[in-house]
Homo-oligomer: A and B are copies of this chain.
Amino acid sequence: MRTLDKQTIEDIASGAALLGSGGGGDPYIGKLMALQAIKKYGPVTMIDVDEVPDDAFIVPTALMGAPTVLIEKLSNGSECKRAFEAMEKYFGKKIYATMPIEAGGVNSMIPLAVAAQMKVPVIDVDGMGRAFPEIQMVTCHLHGIPSSPMVVTDEKGNVAVLDTISNNWSEKIARAMTVAQGGSVMVCIYPMTGKDIKQCGIRRIMSYSEEIGRAIRDSNKYDIPPVKQLLNKINGFELFKGKISDVLRETKGGFNSGTLKIDGLKDYRGENCEVNFQNENLVAKKGEKILATTPDLICLVDLENITPITTDSLKYGRRVLVIGLKCDDQWRTKKGIETVGPRHFGYDMDYIPIEKRMKGVDSYDL
């Protein structure tokens, strides 16, 4: 158990933005939301999964929708309260703690803002170990934990309690609501027990985000080049370096979807890289060669200061490093691949673990 200070929160936001794999929201907005809530309501305590009683009532919180929308349509804070109240009324019991459902610049921060306001601890865990675009893409789903009863609220004051027959129906219905309600909503989802989260959670993801964030912040302190230092820290693969030459982007069905083209720089001069995304980066190719696919993480960072770049801040001319990271082993199971593998997203290719794809390639997978 520890109380989170401003620097810790900023580091978590920054590191989580990297793990967000392009999605999960802008860390600058995320940290502002968390810090503002803490300033208003008081500090937040983070506890370890092992500190949670087995029968405790846990409710993860997140913003759902297109990250691009979040920039213009900020939460006003009252959603959290309404969502928590609706959840507690529905279940007839108090919420013990909240947690992030995914790692991301905004979605690692929302639970902190909620925790501050609702005076509950936040648990050092999430349900992805990265970010993914859809409701059923959570490790809880792999363990058969239902996403509903869930609550959908918006900044206007609308509240809905959904009790669905499957996590795919939660996704379908809540996504339609997200679009109708302006492109983003707040959700309380996957209500579960302490015992559940011990089984299915990705542990210490907030602390890990913090470590990554600190590494990014300290990257100019040492003799080792920043990029190499970061890749060492996260056991990452360097996939490509280059300058963004094109961004094809559309906000549709409540997602940011698109394709990113990068012209090679330095060792990659003369080569091209293409990254496809749906909120998160899903497939990276160099020419015709597949470098990495979902569920492994494909992360972009600024080549100069190694800060993470989310899909909503991709811009022509930006110089980027494309990094590949191994996903959590839970995603590499049969059900994991079915749920978040490339074929689920419509790509006609098999999932091959990134370390196999990178075999023989210069790697930092230590």
Chain A residues at the B interface, C-beta cutoff of 8 Å: 86, 156-165, 169, 172-173, 175-177, 179-181
CB distance from A194 to the nearest CB of B (A): 26
Copies in the complex: 2
Cβ-defined contact, A165 with B156, below 8 A:
yes
The listed residue (B86, B156, B157, B164) touching A158 by CB distance below 8 A is: B164
Given A160-B160, A162-B158, A164-B158, residue A175 in contact with residue B180 (CB < 8 A):
yes
Cβ-defined contact, A163 with B173, below 8 A:
no
The listed residue (B158, B163, B164, B175) touching A163 by CB distance below 8 A is: B158
Interface CB pairs A-B, < 8 A, 14: A156-B165, A156-B169, A157-B164, A158-B163, A159-B162, A159-B163, A160-B161, A160-B162, A161-B161, A172-B180, A173-B181, A175-B180, A176-B177, A177-B177
CB distance from A320 to the nearest CB of B (A): 36
CA distance A181 to B166 in the complex (A): 13
**Which residues of chain B are within 8 angstroms of A161 by Cβ–Cβ distance?**
160-161
Question: Which label, helix, strand, loop or mixed, suits the secondary structure of the A interface?
Answer: mixed
CB distance from A149 to the nearest CB of B (A): 9
Cβ-defined contact, B173 with A158, below 8 A:
yes
Cβ-defined contact, B165 with A173, below 8 A:
no
Cβ-defined contact, A163 with B162, below 8 A:
no
CB distance from A176 to the nearest CB of B (A): 4
CB distance from A334 to the nearest CB of B (A): 26
Cβ-defined contact, B163 with A160, below 8 A:
yes
CA distance A173 to B156 in the complex (A): 13
